[in-house]
Structures are given as structure tokens and as C-alpha cells.
């Protein structure tokens, strides 16, 4: 008893000193973001040792998370967490927390969670933290965990639906993207993940954003399935208003495709994560803009009021059009942003950058509000982000299935465009002279000859062929085309910015 009593007394004294869990919800997080915005920005130094920061891609790949340490595996919950080790490009340390019953506890880094193969880094600090995390779920088979979503690097995240392969990404915000002064990349500095209930079908993630210009509180409710849906809610505070404030940004890659012609240095006919930008305007018009790998940066703005949705889509799902047995571009997801509530006036901005290969993302699309409140006042927005196969969100009538360009023999001053439309009604409709193409050509060019509309009896699509003659000044030309029969619009609007 003499030996036991001092131990009990020590426990009684020590127990209250343990770190108690903090009460947590979105309002607490928003209050924290607001207070943070009132303070000068302080960049947090990386805790990753120099050996990790010097790692190459191949070195970094040798560090694997030990699946036996998956968070919530012992509890047999429907979702599990796995963590990314800092290193290579991901030297920023983020703090992860678990939320159980509105109480938040830190998830501490441990070397025991990782398998260090190959080049082992020296002097790994015990408080190293994580670079990010991934969420596992039985997405494709009921008895096997698959990757569902990843949060890694700045404010980047991406997700999968059933039978998909990772492709394009999303971000929390896009600041000054495409501006001459350079882009600012806000960072999710800390995450809170709610422990799911045993039978739940969704998982909730919270994130705190910080950067020189903004702070923000984010909430993600992720519901997996054939189409995985994220409900994103955010409250952002500006220390200073940026020149471009981009909401719901999507980031993708387009190297070459049918509208650019076969690459002379690549055996694959097409290489891209997305092949077009789709818009559903507040007025109910559907607009399709094929993507391009331009010679120089291109920025397009699509003005709108109360947008109904926009997204970067991978419409072409035919393996033979990619012929890639490793990248599986035909299985890459499309992403569709569906606003919740009235977003008011603004524009969808599309930024296309030149890229030499598929290793660099060169496509960004996001919503830009027409006006921002004064710094210090919250910018609140909410949307559903759909990770899906196509068809998913598309116009009820016909849609653009291909865009091709060609030179005109013996007329080097002309360019020929071949655009095909598909859709249930169009496929069943016989060759009908009453179906016509409505073509508009912007300043800088003029139509040359007649516009040909014909039924493709082999595929069921309708083909529009036209030629244009550019202005010698060489300015970009905005082209638009859709099919109609009488007063009835049969298809979405094909929109193309041609630089000759």
C-alpha cells in the first residue's frame, strides 16, 4: 500500500495536466479565421530537415504509409485515414486533428506509421507533422479499401468516384491566377476530420486557410459513390483584396488532342485530363469550350449572373483515342461545380498555359465575383463539387462530341473547322434539311463559302463543316455554333477561341 499510494497520488496530480480536447465546430473555425485575418501574415517555417527537402521524386516515393496504422482501422469504421510524410515538393507541415463529438484532439506524427525504403532521411524530428492525408473507403468492392480523396499541397485536393483514376484537382481558392504579378497560393494550414459513425455514408473535413492576402474556414462533406459529391462551405476573410479572387477553382492538364492534331513526338493520339470547359449559365444556355495547349498564355472570361454550374470535363471516354496502358486517361474524372444559393454577377475565367508535356497542369477554371466586400468582411460561398464520369451534367439536348481543324488544300489563307454534335434526339433524327447550324464569327475573320450540315450515318452524330478567312492582323477569333430546327435549339453552344 505504501508503494501504491504515491503512484495513485502522482496520477491524481498528473491527470488534470493532460491536454484536454477542444470544443470544435465550423463557427469556432470561422471565428479563428476572422481573428487570424486581423493579424499580419506569418509564414510558418518548415520542420522538414534538409535531407527530406532534397529528396527526388523517386526518393520520396520510397516512403510509404504503413496501412496497418490506418486511422480508425481498429474501430472498423467505414472510412480510414492515411497520412503523407513531408519531403520532396511537400515540405509544408500541416497539423491534423480528429473530431469526436465536437471535441478535437491532435493526431501526432510518428515514424512508426511509415515504411522507409531506399534512401532513409536523417534526423527526423518527433514533431515533424504531416504533409497531408488521404481518405480510404470501400469504393469499388465492399471488402477492399480504395483511395477516395486526397488533401495534399497548398489548398489542393482531389477525389474519385467508382472505377475512376486520379486526374484533375480542385483548390480552395485561386488568387491572381494569370495576372502579370504572379499567382498567390493559399495553404490549408490545419485540418480537422470528424470520426465517422459506423453506418455513415459521408465523412466531414474542416480546414483552416492562410496566406499573405486571405484566411478562410472550410468545411467539406464528402459522400462517395458512382459519382462522389463534396458539399463545400467556406468563409474567407481578406487582409487585402487580391486583383483576382477565384472561387471553386479546378486545375487540369491538356497536352494535345483532336483539335490540335497528333503530336509528332508522342505515340498517343490524345493526352489530357480534361478536354473541355462546360458552362450552364443563369439564363439556361449551355456552352462548351474545347481546351487547348496554347503557344502563350490565354485567358477567357464568360460573363454571367447567378451561374447554374461549370466544370472541366473529360468527355472522350474511348481508350483507343488515348492508347495509354499506364495513365488510363479515359478513366479520369470530370469535375462539376454546382453553386448553392445565388452567386450574383461575375464570370467564369478559363486560364490556358503552354506546356511541353503531361507532367504540368496548365488549365485552370474558376468563378470570379464581380465585386468583393471590403477587407475584413466575410466572403461566404457554398457549392457542390461532383467528381463524375461523363455523362453526368450535360445539356438535355445535343452536345459537342468532337472538334477538328484542318488546312484547306490550295487555299493556305483558309482554315477548316469540323464540329460534331451528338444526343438522343439527333441520333434518331433522319437527315433533315430543316436542321441548320447557327454560326457566328467574331471580329478578326469572316466565313468563306457555305456552312455544311450533314448527318453522320455511321455514328449518328451531326457534322458541321465551315471555313473561315482570318484577318491579316492575326488577332484571336471568337467562334460560336449550335444546331436548331425552326425556333427550337437542339444543342449546346460550341465556343472556340482560334488564334491563327
State which of 388, 422, 451 marks the end of a domain: 388
Residues 403, 378, single domain; the answer is no
Determine, yes or no, domain membership for 264: yes
Structurally, the chain folds into a number of domains equal to: 2
Say if CB 370 and CB 419 are below 8 A apart.
no
Nearest to 94 by CA among 157, 188, 170: 188
For residues 313 and 241, membership in a common domain is answered with: yes
Is 18 within the bounds of a domain? Answer: no
Indicate whether 431 and 344 sit together in one domain: no
**Are 30 and 51 found together in one domain?**
yes
Are residues 269 and 338 part of one domain?
yes
Q: Answer yes or no: are the C-beta atoms of 77 and 196 closer than 8 Å.
A: yes
Q: Which of 335, 355, 388 is the last residue of a domain?
A: 388
- Same domain? For 347 and 452 the reply is no
366 and 414 together in one domain: no
Check whether the bond before 310 is cis (ω within 30° of 0). Answer: no
> What is the reported pLDDT for 476?
87
Q: Say if 210 falls within a structural domain.
A: yes
d(CA 230, CA 334): 13
pLDDT for the residue numbered 392: 62
Residue 13 belongs to a domain: no
Q: What is the pLDDT of residue 261?
A: 80
Q: Which whole-number Å values give the CA distances from 204 to 60, 99, 154, 224, 350, in the listed order?
A: 29, 10, 19, 12, 30
Q: In this structure, are 205 and 327 located in the same domain?
A: yes
Q: Write down the pLDDT at residue 5.
A: 34
pLDDT of residue 4: 37
Note whether residue 278 is domain-resident: yes
Task: Judge whether 17 lies within some domain.
Answer: no
Alpha carbon separation from 368 to 198, 249, 338, 349, 404 (Å, rounded): 40, 10, 15, 7, 30
- The domain in which residue 240 lies consists of 23-388
| pTM of this structure | 0.92
pLDDT at 475: 82
CATH number of the CATH domain containing 467:
2.60.40.10
In a shared domain, residues 254 and 380: yes
Calculate the alpha carbon distances from 77 to 135, 158, 201 in Å. 12, 22, 11
- Position 414 in a domain: yes
What CATH number did the domain enclosing 363 receive?
Answer: 2.70.98.10
Give me the pLDDT at residue 444, please: 81
- Grid cell for residue 139: 469504393
pLDDT (tens, 9 = 90+) of the chain, 500 residues, equals: 333 333 333 333 333 333 456 789 999 999 999 999 999 999 988 888 888 888 888 889 899 999 999 999 999 999 999 999 999 999 889 999 999 999 999 999 999 999 998 777 777 888 899 999 999 999 999 999 999 999 999 999 999 999 999 999 999 999 999 999 899 999 999 999 999 999 999 999 999 999 999 999 999 999 999 999 999 999 999 999 999 999 999 999 999 999 888 788 899 999 999 999 999 999 999 999 999 999 999 999 999 999 999 999 999 999 999 999 999 999 999 999 999 999 999 999 999 999 999 999 999 999 999 999 988 899 999 999 999 997 666 777 899 999 999 999 999 889 999 999 999 889 988 888 999 999 999 988 888 889 999 999 999 999 999 999 987 777 889 999 999 999 999 999 999 998 87
Q: Count CB neighbours of 458 within 10 A.
A: 6
Whether 163 is in a domain gets the answer yes
Q: What is the pLDDT of residue 44?
A: 87
Question: Do 382 and 409 share a structural domain?
Answer: no
**Is the same domain home to 453 and 306?**
no
Q: Is 292 buried (19+), middle (13-18) or exposed (0-12) by CB count in 10 A?
A: buried
Domain boundary among 388, 423, 450: 388
> Are residues 150 and 89 part of one domain?
yes
Amino acid at each position: 500500500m505504501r508503494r501504491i499510494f504515491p503512484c495513485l497520488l502522482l496520477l491524481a496530480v498528473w491527470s488534470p495536466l493532460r491536454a484536454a480536447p477542444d470544443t470544435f465546430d465550423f463557427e469556432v473555425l470561422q471565428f479563428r479565421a476572422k481573428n487570424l485575418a486581423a493579424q499580419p501574415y506569418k509564414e510558418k517555417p518548415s520542420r522538414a530537415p534538409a535531407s527530406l527537402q532534397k529528396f527526388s521524386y523517386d526518393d520520396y516515393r520510397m516512403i510509404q504509409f504503413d496501412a496497418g496504422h490506418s486511422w480508425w482501422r481498429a474501430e472498423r469504421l467505414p472510412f480510414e485515414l492515411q497520412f503523407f510524410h513531408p519531403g520532396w515538393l511537400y515540405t509544408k507541415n500541416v497539423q491534423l486533428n480528429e473530431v469526436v463529438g465536437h471535441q478535437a484532439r491532435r493526431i501526432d506524427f510518428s515514424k512508426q506509421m511509415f515504411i522507409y525504403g531506399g534512401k532513409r532521411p536523417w534526423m527526423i524530428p518527433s514533431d515533424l507533422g504531416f504533409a497531408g492525408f488521404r481518405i480510404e473507403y470501400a469504393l469499388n468492392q465492399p471488402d477492399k479499401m480504395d483511395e477516395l480523396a486526397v488533401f495534399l499541397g497548398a489548398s489542393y485536393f482531389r477525389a474519385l468516384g467508382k472505377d475512376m483514376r486520379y486526374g484533375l484537382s480542385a483548390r480552395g481558392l485561386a488568387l491572381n491566377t494569370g495576372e502579370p504579378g504572379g499567382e498567390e497560393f493559399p495553404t490549408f494550414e490545419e485540418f480537422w476530420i470528424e470520426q465517422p459513425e459506423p453506418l455513415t455514408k459521408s465523412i466531414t473535413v474542416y480546414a483552416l486557410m492562410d496566406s499573405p492576402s486571405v484566411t478562410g474556414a472550410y468545411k467539406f462533406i464528402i459522400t462517395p459513390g458512382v459519382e462522389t459529391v463534396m458539399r463545400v462551405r467556406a468563409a474567407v476573410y481578406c487582409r487585402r483584396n487580391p486583383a483576382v479572387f477565384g472561387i471553386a477553382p479546378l486545375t487540369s492538364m491538356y497536352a494535345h488532342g483532336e483539335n490540335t492534331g497528333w503530336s509528332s513526338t508522342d505515340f498517343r493520339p490524345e493526352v489530357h485530363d480534361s478536354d473541355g470547359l462546360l458552362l450552364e449559365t443563369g439564363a439556361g444556355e449551355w456552352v462548351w469550350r474545347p481546351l487547348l495547349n496554347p503557344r502563350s498564355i490565354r485567358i477567357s472570361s464568360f460573363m454571367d449572373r447567378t451561374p447554374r454550374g461549370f466544370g472541366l470535363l473529360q468527355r472522350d471516354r474511348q481508350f483507343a483515342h488515348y492508347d495509354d496502358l499506364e495513365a488510363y486517361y479515359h478513366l479520369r474524372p470530370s469535375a462539376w461545380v454546382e453553386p448553392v444559393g445565388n452567386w450574383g454577377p461575375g464570370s467564369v475565367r478559363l486560364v490556358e498555359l503552354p506546356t511541353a508535356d503531361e507532367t504540368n497542369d496548365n488549365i485552370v477554371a474558376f468563378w470570379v465575383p464581380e465585386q468583393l466586400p471590403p477587407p475584413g468582411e466575410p466572403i461566404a460561398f457554398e457549392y457542390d463539387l461532383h467528381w463524375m464520369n461523363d455523362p453526368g451534367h450535360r445539356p438535355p439536348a445535343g452536345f459537342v462530341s468532337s472538334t477538328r481543324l484542318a488546312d484547306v488544300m490550295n487555299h493556305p489563307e483558309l482554315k477548316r473547322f469540323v464540329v460534331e454534335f451528338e444526343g438522343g434526339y439527333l441520333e434518331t433524327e433522319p437527315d433533315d434539311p430543316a436542321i441548320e447550324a447557327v454560326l457566328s464569327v467574331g471580329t478578326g475573320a469572316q466565313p468563306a463559302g457555305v456552312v455544311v450540315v450533314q448527318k453522320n450515318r455511321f455514328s449518328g452524330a451531326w457534322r458541321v463543316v465551315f471555313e473561315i478567312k482570318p484577318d491579316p492582323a492575326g488577332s484571336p477569333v471568337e467562334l460560336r455554333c449550335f444546331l436548331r430546327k425552326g425556333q427550337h435549339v437542339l444543342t449546346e453552344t460550341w465556343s472556340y477561341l482560334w488564334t491563327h
